[in-house]
Amino acid sequence: MAVFNKNTLTQVSGFDNQIIAGELVWQQKTFWNLALNADDGLPLDLTNATIEAEIIRRTLTNVRDSRYGLAFDIGNYDPTPAAINLTITNVVGANGSFTLVIDSDAWDLIEGQVGLDIANINGVGYSGRIKISFPVEGTTPANDLIIFLLFLVRSDAIVNN
């Protein structure tokens, strides 16, 4: 998996927020098993939480491999596409764990797009978030935990060149 420059990640998630970032190949299916811990190191109880994830197509420019990792500028894609819902499965609330499924069928990319040309160094970008919503519990108000997402999708030059 690619190492992203800290400044690139900050464009998406800010300075102190969690982020999952990765470089994927067009039509790749993958997943991440996530396990969250509370401040005390114990599993974060997700039993009553609602978990959803979505991404949206972005424009990437000035993609370069810098001394400190992959760097690029990210911007809005034109025309603005609809957000894409990602699948959350295998939720085990008491363990604070779930699986985020990355299914390339949902990306709405078509063969021959310029961003997937093997000669295009910019690739195709997506940003988004996982939102974990906790309900009111006793005197604790409802709150949301956000984990930002950033994916760079490139051609493998076999299927889409």
Residue type, 103: D
Residue type, 127: S
Q: Which of 15, 90, 60 is nearest to 150 (CA)?
A: 60
**Contact between 85 and 128 (Cβ < 8 Å):** no
Q: What is the CATH number of domain 6-154?
A: 2.60.40
| Highest mean pLDDT pick, 102-106, 132-136, 151-155 | 132-136
Report the DSSP beta bridge partners of residue 57: 126
Domain residue ranges of the chain, discontinuous segments joined by +: 6-154
Cα separations (Å) of 141 from 115, 146, 160? 44, 16, 49
Quick: pLDDT tens for 34-93. Answer: 999 998 999 999 999 999 999 998 888 888 887 777 888 889 988 888 888 999 999 999
Q: Which of 124, 108, 116 is nearest to 155 (CA)?
A: 116
* pTM, full prediction: 0.85
